[in-house]
Structure 1
Amino acid sequence: MSSKQDDLKETNTEARFEFKKEEKSAFKSEKGLTEETVRVISEDKDEPEWMLERRLRALEQFQEMPMPTDWPGQPDLSEVDVDEIVPYIRPDVDVRAGVDDWTELPDDIKDTFDKLGIPEAEKNALSGVGAQYESEVVYQNMQERWEEKGVIFCNMDEAVQEHEELVREHFMTKCVPPSDNKFAALHGAIWSGGSFVYIPENTTVDMPVQAYFRMNSEGMGQFEHTLIIAEEGAEVHYIEGCSAPKYSKFNLHCGGVEVFVDEDAHVQYSTVQNWSKNTYNLNTKRAIAENGGRMEWISGSMGSKATMLYPSTILKGRGASD
């Protein structure tokens, strides 16, 4: 490929991913991580008491844990200062009412996802789409034929309210507890948004579902949580996409992913990330596979100032694989 073609390719990539929008928010927390901040986030989401208690326990664990220094291939994290991060920004969208039509989004947010090609992908190749902007999911939709079969695809904040028993049983209890590492504890304290996917027994979702996470504001952190439960014999392909524009200050992406693969179930989790060069990408992703369960991780992580990502599967049952 010629130098001119390389330059054109780089320009097209920047145009697609690194555009910026003026920050418009309905609510924005203060910088840093304190008990007050955790309580404010939980109150703004109108969460049940048990979730607030889990957040506060995770905060305690985060404060007690040292910054990791000996992880395999660990990059320099000396610049990562949580006290300089805004952990929660609720965009100027009525997320509680639920938006399942792209045209109902504010023009600046709609334009963002149009540029990223998400609505077009939904029409052509996906069973369902969720789109997160800053700290909240602003769009969520799934084809009716899957809802009729009992498939659930919603944002995590809705799942806490509408599917409380399932979330309470699985959320950061067995797969990725806050005690796992300092960044898991940070995530547990201030998580916001993300996807909840539930596939009933012997149900195959034959087209992927996708969630896209976009950070727009400078100096913020994004802490979405993804929880996937595939019952016995179920199959699903989940695609995660992420991007952010470039700023002079560092941004922090600290997501958490928990996948439960029941007997003879099959989950494929694909990640395509194109973070800007000022973003620290520090995630914890893990699955638990029961007898005959199969878990596949496919990751394409591009960009970022530093990425620490170790997808793993606990092969709990006989014949489980990844």
Structure 2
Amino acid sequence: MTPLDQLAGVLEPAVRPRAAPPLATVRDAGSGLTARTVHYLSRCKGEPAWLRDARLAALQGWEGSGPAVPWAPAELAGIPFADLHPYSAPAAAAPDSPTGAVLQALDVSREEAGFLGGAQVQIDGEVVHGSLQESWARAGVVFVDSTRGLTEYGRLFRPHFGRVVGGDEQPFTRLNAAFFSGGSFIWVPPGVRVAAPLKCYMHLQARHGTQFGRTLILLGAGSELTFIEGCTSAARPEAALHCAVGEFILERGARLNYIALQDWAPNVYNLAILRARVAAGASVHWIDCNLGGRLTMKYPCTLLEGEGAAAESISISVARTGQHHDTGAKMFHRAPRTTSTITAKSVSLGTGRADYRGWVDLPATVSGCRNHTECDALLVDAASRSDTYPAIQTGGTGNTAQHEASVSRLSAEQIFYMRQRGLSEAAARGLSINGFISNLVERFPLQYSGKIKRLIELQMAGSVG
């Protein structure tokens, strides 16, 4: 199998050993989260002094606090920060370049033509490919990487940058603020409903690699957008870090569908900070599938700031031996008659651990607000583990919050019955797990729901025997 074959699959990221050598890197800051590497990144991008100084200030904050997060999983302490390369980039995506060949292997153009309204591909620290259908460009839609957003669309970008997720909130927002590179900037004008999804595909392939993507999405009043994020990585013996920040601002009556399918190799630490501000009558729908990785910490957060705003979070998490997924959602009701729903399902295989961590706040200052949370866990093996950490705060009049949780084990009798019908143990387990998550998988676009089921089956094939 060639290296390009092993990278195949914007539509079908493969759960299999990824042993491809890294693509040629033309920029590499070297190891260490230091002022030297900040200066290198800033010079490569030709940034103004104010931005370089802002990066250095964020780095100073990181150095003062370190990576400690009191409630974080123990695996967080295993990240070898001193060895990480905070910025690297491959060659430009010319058709005859190695990166261009990778884009062909990823079949980006076919997906763009058949399904997407626009697509970006980011490899390590830089976006190497971007497109937007002409019809949406004529409608005023902007879809570029964050560097172009800052330099070419500064009047739109700068007033909102860092206003939803502050750079000094916690250790990993500081780290992202110091080294951010890549990610998407999207602007949808008022009243424009983008019928075809926009997608950013991110691939992490460098040794000791990092991705500090920074995404900013602005939706004007009454606009609509579906944004898809797909993530894969090459398996390496060295640890890698994906530390992303996403900021989303929805004006009155806007609607955002944010869909993420992440399939990381076992060496990746995935730390994502995502937050949306939702105005009156607007709604955000988080639809998330997390596979692979060493540690995943992800809790999409919604600030329901306008009357009648709504939010929904749907998540699937599958953790195998050596993997810990700590995922969930946060819903903060800041206006009357706002609603939120959280539905989470997790599967733990072998010694894998998949936890739910959520925070719902309905303060006394609002009324008529509703939340419903449901989290279900499936433990496949005797050593599998799942814990639930819900935090629910309610006050005021007419506010209601409901929380349901369940933990179940895969039935040996059910597996035995299916094996008697000719299925292998792996196939029987995969069928049972897909049945457990099927109602959530159906919420993904048709182009992805079947892929997710096959990915689960491949996970099972690698966990039996």
**TM-score higher than 0.5 here?**
yes
Name the counterpart of 1:91. Answer: 90
Q: Measure how far apart 1:148 and its partner are.
A: 0.4
**Structure 2 counterpart of 1:162, which letter?**
E
CA contact 1:261–1:293 (8 Å) conserved in 2? yes
Residue 295 of structure 2 corresponds to residue 306 of structure 1: yes
Sort the Cα spacing of 1:122 and 1:318 in 2 relative to 1 into closer, same or farther, 3 A: same
Check whether the contact 2:19–2:236 (CA below 8 A) recurs between aligned residues: no
> What do the CA deviations read for 1:188-219 (whole angstroms, capped 9, x no partner)?
10011111100001100001000001111111
C-alpha separation in 2, matches of 1:261 and 1:243:
28
What is the rounded CA distance, in whole Å, between the counterparts of 2:95 and 2:81 in structure 1? 31
Q: Which residue of 2 aligns with 1:195?
A: 184
Q: Which of the numbers 258, 262, 274 marks the counterpart of 1:273?
A: 262
Q: Distance in 2 between matches of 1:279 and 1:118?
A: 24
- TM superposition shift of 1:108: 2.7
Are the counterparts in 1 of residues 90 and 99 from structure 2 also a CA contact under 8 Å?
no
Which residue of 2 is the match for residue 152 of structure 1?
142
1:4 is matched with none
Which amino acid in structure 1 is aligned with residue 86 of structure 2? P
Q: What displacement does 1:320 show?
A: 1.3
Correspondence for 1:121: 111
Count of residue correspondences = 299
| Mapping for residues 47-196 of structure 1, pairs under 5 Å | 47-71=47-71, 74-93=73-92, 104-172=94-162, 174-196=163-185
Deviation at 1:185, TM superposition (A): 0.7
Q: Give, in whole Å, the separation in 2 of the partners of 1:290 and 1:206.
A: 21
SS at match of 2:193: coil
Shift of residue 107 of structure 1? Answer: 4.2
Structure 1 counterpart of 2:214, which letter?
H
- Residue of structure 2 in register with 1:25 after alignment: 25
- Which structure is richer in relative contact order (CA contacts within 8 A, separation 6 or more)? 1
SS in 2 for 1:292: coil
Please list every run of at least 4 consecutive aligned residues from structure 1 whose deviation after the TM superposition is greater than 4 angstroms. none
CA distance in structure 2 between the aligned counterparts of 1:22 and 1:296, rounded to whole angstroms: 35
Q: Which moved more, 1:224-233 or 1:114-123?
A: 114-123
TM-superposed deviation, 1:69: 3.9
CA drift at 1:14: 4.3
Partners of 2:48 and 2:95 lie apart in 1 by: 28
- State how far apart, in whole Å, the 2-side matches of 1:165 and 1:50 are: 16
Which stretch shows the higher mean deviation, 161-170 or 267-276?
A: 161-170
- CA distance, structure 1, for counterparts of residue 19 and residue 223 of structure 2: 39
Maintained 8 Å contact 2:239/2:269:
yes
Q: Please give the alpha-carbon distance, in whole angstroms, between the structure 1 residues aligned to 2:30 and 2:121.
A: 24
Q: Residues 167 and 54 from structure 1, CA distance in 2 versus in 1: closer, same or farther, beyond 3 angstroms?
A: farther
Call closer, same or farther: CA 1:284–1:106 in 2, change over 3 Å. farther
8 A contact 2:31–2:82 mirrored in 1: yes
Alpha-carbon separation, structure 2, partners of 1:239 and 1:215: 17
Compared CA separation, residues 70 and 106, structure 1 to 2 (3 A)? farther
Cα separation, 2, equivalents of 1:269 and 1:41: 29
One-letter code aligned to 1:145: S
1:66 is displaced (CA, Å) by 3.9
With 266-275 and 35-44 compared, the bigger mean Cα shift is at 35-44
Q: Tell me which residue corresponds to 2:372.
A: none
State the distance in 2 between where 1:19 and 1:151 align: 38
Deviation at 1:19, TM superposition (A): 5.1
Cα distance per residue 1:127-159 (max 9 Å; x no partner):
000011111111110000000010000111111
Question: What is the root-mean-square deviation of aligned Cα atoms in Å?
Answer: 1.7
Partner of 1:263: 252
Q: Which has the larger radius of gyration?
A: 2
Give the Å deviation of 1:90: 2.1
2:451 alignment counterpart: none
- Give the Cα separation in 2 of the matches to 1:193 and 1:266: 24
Matches within 5 A, 1:211-230: 211-230=200-219
| Aligned mates of 1:20, 1:226 — CA distance in 2 | 28
Higher share in strand? 2
Matches within 5 A, 1:245-264: 245-264=234-253
Q: Could you say what secondary structure the match of 2:310 adopts?
A: coil
User: SS of the residue aligned with 1:33?
Assistant: coil
Report the 3-state secondary structure (helix = DSSP H, G, I; strand = E; otherwise coil) of the residue aligned with 2:195: coil
Q: Does structure 2 retain, via aligned residues, the 8 Å contact 1:244–1:275?
A: yes
CA-CA distance at 1:27 after TM superposition: 1.5
* CA distance in 2: counterparts of 1:270 and 1:288, whole angstroms: 17
Mean CA deviation greater in 133-142 or 105-114: 105-114
In structure 2, give the amino acid aligned to 1:57: A
Q: Report if the CA contact (8 A) 2:87-2:211 is conserved.
A: yes
Letter in 2 for 1:109: T
**Residues 1:75 and 1:275: Cα distance change in structure 2 (over 3 Å):** farther
In the alignment, which residue of structure 2 is the partner of 1:290?
279
Unaligned runs of 5+ in 2: 1-12, 312-465
Contact 1:75 1:306 in 2 (8 A): no
Scaled by the length of structure 2, the TM-score of the pair is 0.62
Report the secondary structure of 1:60's partner residue: helix
Separation (CA, whole Å) in 2 of partners of 1:117 and 1:242: 15
